Structure 1
Amino acid sequence: MKKLATLAVTLLLFSCNTGKKVVSNESAPEFKVLTVSEYKGKEKKMYEVIQNEAQLKALYAAVEDPEVPTIDFKKSRIVALFLGEKNSGGYGIAVDKVTEKDNVVWVTVKETKPAAGEMSTMAITRPFTIVKIHTTKPIEFK
């Protein structure tokens, strides 16, 4: 009888579902880095979202790159990240991650700089990164 009671209590405990379901409306659109350089970026720090061929050609002309990629703007957008002018090398800017939440694509930007005492190029640099994101939804930065 004692075994039967223990079995009944055990079954009762296992049948209770106390776990919470976590529902997330966050996803991660695919992205691809197209161009990265420490030179030929813009003088001021800025982020740009490119939505058509004319803007893309203007962007690649501004960074003096003659090889403009072919982009299907019905499916993708281009993000250009400019760190601005720096007085030495060792600086960089990149996409850390891309997420989608509440119908908005969020691009998390990561900036790098030389560590204290680290040797770096003594030249004026203007780091930038150009990334293709597989989305047509609004893009915001953080």
Structure 2
Amino acid sequence: MRAAALIVGALLLSACATFARQGEPIDFSTVDRGTHSGIEQAGCCVIQTNEQFAALWAELYRTRHPEPPMPVVDFDHEVVVAVFQGRQPSGGYAVEVQAVRRIGRRAVVHVAQTVPEPGDMVTMALTAPYHVVRFTRPESGVIFCGSPAGQGGEPAF
């Protein structure tokens, strides 16, 4: 079982490396990024409606008051993608959407994670890193490479 998991992981990494060299870049912009979200589980999600975005926004800021105003997104033409690293025991952790590329009719979102090395000087506070971006709606879905919780696009909240 463990060998099978290693093989699947290696194949996914190989596929992500292939995706990184293919397709055309898609411009994206950061909606928000930080280290303290209300979402404590690692994951990723694709937001396609105002209702989904409002639910994400409320969960993202449930630990902050006042909640900042939610940006206006034209979901007829754009999607919002969010990645979460989950609750971490200290500072020094980060998650970032590094690139979005169009391959065929899909968008491939490349995610990078930062983890502190043993002995690094970090804050001793719980963190929950996240990155939320928006880009032009792809014709046929979104694929995540290097995401905190696998290749899916299921809501993490």
Name the TM-score, length of structure 1 as normaliser: 0.78
Q: Which moved more, 1:118-127 or 1:34-43?
A: 34-43
Q: Among all aligned residue pairs of Structure 1 and Structure 2, give the percentage whose two residues are the same amino acid.
A: 31
Aligned residues: 119
Shift of 1:69: 0.4
Separation in 2, partners of 1:33, 1:123: 25
For residue 47 of structure 1, give the secondary structure of its aligned residue in structure 2.
strand
Per-residue deviation at 1:90? 0.9
The answer (yes or no) to whether the contact 2:25–2:101 under 8 Å persists in 1 is: yes
SS in 1 for 2:33: strand
1:81 aligned to 73, 76, 83, which one?
A: 83
Candidates 93, 96, 105, aligned match of 1:94? 96
Q: Which runs of 4+ in 1 moved over 4 A?
A: none
Distance 2:38 2:129 in 1: 6
Quick check: 1:58 aligned with 2:55? Answer: yes
TM-score (norm 2): 0.71
Q: Which residues in structure 2 correspond to 1:1-142 (within 5 Å)?
A: 26-64=23-61, 65-137=67-139, 138-142=141-145
Which ranges of structure 2 fall in alignment gaps of 5 or more residues?
1-20, 62-66, 146-157
Larger Rg: 1
Distance, in Å, in 2 between the alignment partners of 1:40 and 1:30 is 25
Question: Which sections of structure 1, spanning at least 5 residues, go unmatched?
Answer: 1-23
